[in-house]
Structure 1
Amino acid sequence: MQSALSTDALSSGSVTNLRQEEIVIALLSHCRSMKRQETRFRLATGFMLLVGFVVICFLPHLKRMSTSDEAGMGAQGVSLAQAQHDPRPKQEPGFRLIPIRPHPNNTTPMQWRNPTNRQTVKSLRIPTDGLYFVSLRMSYRIPDQFCEQEGAFEYLSTVVMKSKKTYPKDQKVVSSLDTMTCTYPNHKSVYTGRFIPLTANDELKVMVYTKYELIDWYRDGVSFDVFLF
């Protein structure tokens, strides 16, 4: 009788041990499965975040590229259609004018040359309403034997003015004021720009209130750019 009870107890203990091992194996298998699912979820989340980051970074650039194909600018006789159908490749959106050098009269707007048709202009006419980025780069240098007082400061001032047919007075939209030490052969470049809402037929012109001898016309460091956004 005692032997039978001992055998039953052993059998019961073996069954219990087997069930515990099965439970442990099942738990381990479940943990592995959950871990694989968690890894897949992390990979999927990371991929979605990467795609979202790429879209956010490159969508404005693609939008500007598509806009540049439609945006053109005119300058005194140059129409928007002419700017759009110019067969030469356009590497930048908007319009750029190059200066006619030198410009000794500081009381009149700077004269520029339209690189498209080589026409001389004093202002840039806006073809359509929109938000524009207007920028002006001026380069300066101290010529030899120019300084009356070595080490004195020379003031460098330029202003972009906007004129409208419906408004009698010009408005200042972009301005730059800087200084440089009068020491030969000092060089300096000043860049200024800002976003400005403009309407069709607005005209932009550049006034320079700096001694024209200081402007470095011969380094291609003077440019007037307008970009439509």
Structure 2
Amino acid sequence: MGQRLTDQPLPAAAACGHAVMDLGPDTSVLILLKHCRDMKQQETRLRRISLLLLLLAAAALLAFTCWAALGCEHTPSGHGMNTVNGDGLQLEEKEKSPAFSKQQGVFPRGAQANSNRLRIDLSSRSDGHSSDPRYVQWNAVFGEEYNEEKRAIVIPEDGFYFVYVRIALSCHDDDEASDLETFHAVLHKWNEAYNATVTLTEAWEGVACAADGHRGVFVGQLCDLLRGDHVSVWIRRGYRLISKAAFGAFLA
């Protein structure tokens, strides 16, 4: 009789048993370590590339900042091109550079003009031996913000102003030698908005006509003033003692 062979399927564990046995635990650990080493090398390379790109970006930003601050596009003297604006005025090419534009943004022309808007100095006008009290009448040395009718400096805009008064006092020939003349000056402000006279500051002084009969009075104060304020000097006593005086204000 011939021998009959019976094909019986082997268990799955037995079928792949040789493969599992071939790898072994040591081989699996080595493959895992090699994979981890490759991942660390890739991560190191990515970090180096990122650091290099960051350094390049920082260097480019620094170069651009330096170029903008120093005006790298400034043309040599005598070779700059001029353009004409809408008002027919010539503008130099440097005004179109980024550095000039940046400076204009920080210090616009309007702000520079405002900082010089009020500069006024006045000198006293001779009124003879007038009676007290009264406001001093002035002649303008420079500046146009003077209201002759109100005898006051007119404030053009809100801000802090330094206001000063300088007065020279002296006795007259008709003053008795033993008299002590009293001088009292008051710095007033007035505005149509609130229509009230406010005292900013005042000064007292005494002149002894028995001695040399000369004194000097100076008043200076930083004042928070509003647009439309009228600042004036009012002499309560001793107007006749004024030989000369100066009065002025400027935006601080």
When the two structures are superposed, what TM-score results if normalisation uses the length of structure 1?
A: 0.54
Structure 1 residue 189 corresponds to structure 2 residue 234: no
Structure 2 distance, partners of 1:138, 1:176, is 11
Identify the structure with bigger relative contact order (alpha carbons < 8 Å, sequence gap 6+): 1
Question: SS of 1:143's equivalent?
Answer: coil
Matched, 1:132 2:161: yes
Q: Deviations over 1:130-150 (max 9, x none)?
A: 111111111101122312xx3
Q: What's the counterpart of residue 21 of structure 1?
A: none
Q: Deviations over 1:58-109 (max 9, x none)?
A: xxxxxxxx96883223xxxxxxxxxxxxxxxxxxxx2111111126143332
Tell me the alpha carbon deviations over residues 34-64 of structure 1, each in whole angstroms, 9 at most, x when there is no partner: xxxxxxxxxxxxxxxxxxxxxxxxxxxxxxx
Partner of 1:213, secondary structure, is: helix
Give distance in 2, aligned partners of 1:213 and 1:140: 9
Within 2, Cα distance between the matches of 1:145 and 1:124? 34
Give the CA deviation at 1:120.
Answer: 7.1
* 1:133 aligned counterpart, secondary structure: strand
**What is the rounded CA distance, in whole Å, between the counterparts of 2:225 and 2:167 in structure 1?**
23
Following TM superposition, by how much is the alpha carbon of 1:185 offset from its aligned partner in structure 2, in angstroms? 3.9
Per-residue CA deviation, residues 113-166 of structure 1 (Å, 9 max, x unaligned), is 12348987111100111111111111101122312xx33321111111000112
Matched residues, number: 139
Amino acid at match of 1:197: D
Q: Residue 153 of structure 1 aligns with which residue?
A: 180
Partner of 1:223: 246
- Closer, same or farther: CA 116–95 of 1 in aligned 2, 3 Å: closer
Whether the 8 Å CA contact 2:181–2:209 is kept in 1: the answer is yes
Q: Structure 2-normalised TM-score?
A: 0.49
Aligned CA RMSD, in angstroms, stands at: 2.7
Q: Distance in 1 between matches of 2:112 and 2:251?
A: 8
Is 1:106–1:207's contact at 8 Å kept on the other side of the alignment? no
Matches within 5 A, 1:48-63: none
Tell me how far apart the structure 1 counterparts of residues 123 and 164 of structure 2 sit (CA, whole Å): 13
Q: What whole-Å deviation, never above 9, does each CA across 1:192-213 have from its counterpart, x for those lacking one?
A: 1111101111110111123333
The one-letter code of the counterpart of 1:144 is D
Q: Percent identity?
A: 21
Q: State the SS of the aligned residue for 2:141.
A: coil
Output the amino acid matched with 1:182: C
Deviations 1:1-30 (A, max 9, x none): xxxxxxxxxxxxxxxxxxxxxxxxxxxxxx
Give unmatched runs, 5+ long, in structure 1: 1-65, 74-93
Contact 2:159 2:225 in 1 (8 A): yes
Give the 5 Å matches for 1:34-49: none
Indicate if the aligned counterparts of 2:183 and 2:239 stay in contact, CA closer than 8 A. Answer: no
Asked if 1:207 is matched to 2:230, the reply is no
Q: State the secondary structure of the residue aligned to 1:97.
A: strand
Instruction: Write the distance in 2 (CA, Å) between the matches of 1:113 and 1:214.
Output: 19
Tell me which residue corresponds to 2:120: 95
Max radius of gyration: which structure?
Answer: 2
Structure 2 segments unaligned to the other structure (5+ residues)? 1-110
Pick closer, same or farther for the CA change 1:68–1:102 going to 2, 3 Å.
farther
Q: Following superposition of structure 1 onto structure 2, how do residues 105-124 of structure 1 map, counting pairs within 5 Å?
A: 105-116=131-142, 121=148, 122-124=151-153
The equivalent of 1:89 in structure 2 is: none
Tell me how far apart the structure 1 counterparts of residues 229 and 212 of structure 2 sit (CA, whole Å).
Answer: 39
Could you tell me which residue of structure 1 aligns to residue 42 of structure 2? none
Paired position in structure 2 for 1:168 = 195
1:71 equivalent among 105, 116, 125: 116
